[in-house]
Amino acid sequence: MANQAQITFPFMRVHAPRASSAKALALPERPLTRRSAVRVPEGPDQASLPFARATPRLFVHEGARQLLEKRLASLIGDNVSLSVTDNRRTMISSNRRGSTLEVRLHHMFLDADVFTVRALARYVKDGDRAASVLVGRFIEAHRQRIAPSGTRQVTLRTAGEHHDLGAIFERLNAQYFGGIVDARATWGRRRSGRRSRATIKLGTYCAEQKLIRIHPSLDRKWVPRYFVAYVMYHEMLHHVVPMPVVDGRRQFHSEEYRERERAFADYERAIRWEKRVVHRLLRG
């Protein structure tokens, strides 16, 4: 349930690539899931920006690009072809094409210090775990250089037929967070038609918009208020609990997060209720 809380930029654990496969440091793609109710941070949209095909999105200093390309080739001991991107999610990727290692890097790495470049080379060459951590820290320190996703105006709808999200949010904010959560909350949009689904996101949190969305399937008379409050509390935690990078991958639900989640007064009761009625939620 839950920078889009990455916001953010979770990094996949890297395995040594096969000769025919590509390797990327990126957000994980949507996994195959069992029939269940899931609550995950909502990833940033990756819709194409309205640039004409011939219009460059990014000015790259060719001298800086060539210098970094030569440094990587020397450190990796291989022919390297470097492309510089302005991607929002994939910061690093590499792929073997014949005798050349094709590397794609976010433009922030053009200004990387010598230690980061060395770590970058070890990561690209061997998928080195320690190097991945160092590179991840560099990305975190320069995340302001990552272009924000395009945002659209959101009409907030807190008053439901059976549950008032505004009242629930205010109570939780005062009781558990000392009033510091400045996010907004709204019911998600109802989809036309009724159909069974394999999974359902009961709530999402978008860090860029500071926006919590609660699935409208919870706005029903038979859904207890304490469960709606639990879903809201889960998303509010994503607003305040840091998301560390461990082994090159961002942890949305860290140990600190899980500990604070269990502090919710009706945590156990909410989990039991969810397991008991998940089939009804999946039916829409």
CATH class as words, domain 1-45+152-284: alpha beta
- Asked whether residue 265 carries a pLDDT value surpassing 80, the answer given is yes
Q: Tokens representing 61? A: 């200093």
Please, what's the largest Cα pairwise distance for the chain? 66
CATH number of 60-148: 3.30.2010
pLDDT digits (tens, 9 = 90+) for 63-92: 889 999 999 999 999 999 999 998 877 889
pLDDT digits (tens, 9 = 90+) for 20-38: 445 555 444 444 434 444 4
For the chain, what is the mean pLDDT?
Answer: 78
- pTM, whole model, 2 decimals? 0.51
Half-sphere exposure of 234 (CA within 13 A, CB side): 24
Closest CA to 227 of 167, 265, 273: 273
Mean pLDDT of 87-108: 90
Rg (CA), the chain: 22
Q: Which residue has the higher pLDDT, 280 or 239?
A: 239
Query: Where are the chain's structural domains?
Result: 1-45+152-284, 60-148
Mean pLDDT of 277-281: 79
| All residues at 6 or more sequence positions from 148 whose CB lies less than 8 Å from its CB, including other chains | 88, 208
- Asked whether residue 206 carries a pLDDT value surpassing 80, the answer given is yes
Helix (H, G, I), strand (E, B) or coil at 239: helix
Residue entry with tokens 């999105």: 57
Fold match flag (1-45+152-284 vs 60-148)? yes
- Is residue 154 left, alpha or beta, with left meaning phi > 0 and alpha meaning psi from -120 to 50? beta
Half-sphere exposure of 60 (CA within 13 A, CB side): 21
